[in-house]
A and B are shown apart, each in its own frame.
Chain A
Amino acid sequence: MSKGDKAFGITVTFVIMFLFWILLSGLFDAFHLIAGAICCGIVTLISHDLLVRGKDRKFIVKSLRLFRYIPWEFWQIVLANIDVAYRVLHPKMPIDPLIIEFETPLRSDFSLVTLANSITLTPGTITISVDPEKGTFRVHAIAKEPADALLVDQTMQRKVAEIFFVEPSGTDQPAKS
């Protein structure tokens, strides 16, 4: 990594850790602030390349688009829980599990983690494994309708690809197993 990337990574990591120190301690006198700065400095020097990977010019726009995605995510979480409550409390328990696979054009770590978390928190699907080189997702679905909502509609893949400036894939046929 070049010098600019390292300085950006060190600064962001130090600021995040110092804010976390102030949140946990709650005391603002000089002794605690200086002790916090020393501890955060030592931890940042050891592990500054874990959190931020390089200078990203579109960092602010990506964060704003992420904040706009979160309210839709909350609505999906509420729908998911009402769906699971219906399937648990129904006397006949209508479930029909199956495993599906599909591909996405996302490649960076953070976008894959966001999509995997969103799939786990939406009605009826949980991510099993992710292949970071080809972007393949292996997903376990609990019934036919949530699996179709993920395979045929592709609403969530379009929304996550829009955050990270990636063109959503066209009409490739996903594999079923």
Chain B
Amino acid sequence: MVLVNGMVTLFLAAGLFFTLVGSIGLLRFPDFYTRLHATGKCDTLGAGLIIVGLIIYHFFGYSKGVLVPARLAFLVFFIFIANPVATHAIMKAADETGLKPWKVGEERK
């Protein structure tokens, strides 16, 4: 039981670390396109790792069957497909409207 609790805590800690790094990147980066790099990659993996940790906790802590973990696994699969597509859609809208990317040496936008 201690082993399961340790593994769940490890997954939760890794997921929280990547989520916080994504938010810090959203504040620190100088341009719109670079901010999308930080959130589109880190936020997806952070939320995915947190939910995977909770699936492991459900299997060994509750064991109320296989239907609820299957629902959470579908949620993880959906997040991994939907977040990059939404990132690409908003980036394409910015590029078609004419937002210029940031080069080294300019000021923050």
Contact = CB atoms under 8 A, between A and B. Distances in A.
To the question of whether A and B form a pair in one complex, the answer is yes
Interface of A: 23-24, 26, 77-78, 80-81, 84-85, 88-89, 93, 95-99, 116-117, 120-121, 124, 126-129, 138, 140, 142
Interface residues of B, number: 36
Contacts of A89: 21, 24
A109 B88 CA distance: 16
Contacts of B34: 95, 97, 142
Contacts of B36: 126
Contacts of B92: 128-129
Contacts of B42: 81, 84-85
Main secondary structure of the interface of B (DSSP, over half): helix
Contacts, number: 83
Contacts of B102: 97
Contacts of A140: 33, 91, 101
A84 B71 contact: no
Given A85-B18, A120-B88, A126-B40, 8 more contacts: A85-B17, A85-B21, A85-B42, A89-B21, A128-B88, A128-B91, A128-B92, A129-B92
Contact of B45 (A24, A26, A81, A98): A81
A77 B80 CA distance: 10
Interface of B: 17-18, 21, 24-25, 28-29, 31, 33-34, 36-38, 40-42, 44-45, 67, 70-71, 74, 80-81, 84-85, 87-88, 91-92, 95-96, 101-104
Contacts of A78: 45
Contacts of A129: 92, 95-96
A89 B38 CA distance: 11
B91 A81 contact: no
A80 B38 contact: no
B29 A126 contact: no
B85 A77 contact: no
10 contacts: A23-B74, A78-B45, A81-B41, A88-B25, A88-B28, A93-B29, A98-B101, A126-B87, A126-B91, A140-B101
A120 B103 contact: no
